[in-house]
Amino acid sequence: MSKPTIVPCPQCKQEVVWSKDSPFRPFCSKQCQMIDFGEWADEENSIPGAPDMSDSDGWSENDY
């Protein structure tokens, strides 16, 4: 009875049928879903690398 809902894939703009046959909706495929996921995951990974300022106390110069 009801028409299938078609949504454009946010990544590649391909038409995706909004149904249980499209497990990655609104994305057309897992690939497009992962691309989107990777974009925001990128920000999570950009943790400012605090340089480890551990001084070299454990070694001394061996003066021959």
CB of 47 to Zn ion, least distance (A): 30
| Helix (DSSP H) and strand (DSSP E) numbers for the chain | 1, 2
Residue 27 CA to residue 30 CA, distance in Å, equals 7
Strands in the chain per DSSP E:
5-8, 15-18
Q: How far is the CB of 24 from Zn ion (least distance, A)?
A: 8
Q: Which is nearer to Zn ion, 18 or 46 (CB)?
A: 18
| Interface with Zn ion (CB under 5 A) | 9, 11-12, 14, 28, 32
Can you say which residues are annotated as belonging to the binding site?
9, 12, 28, 32
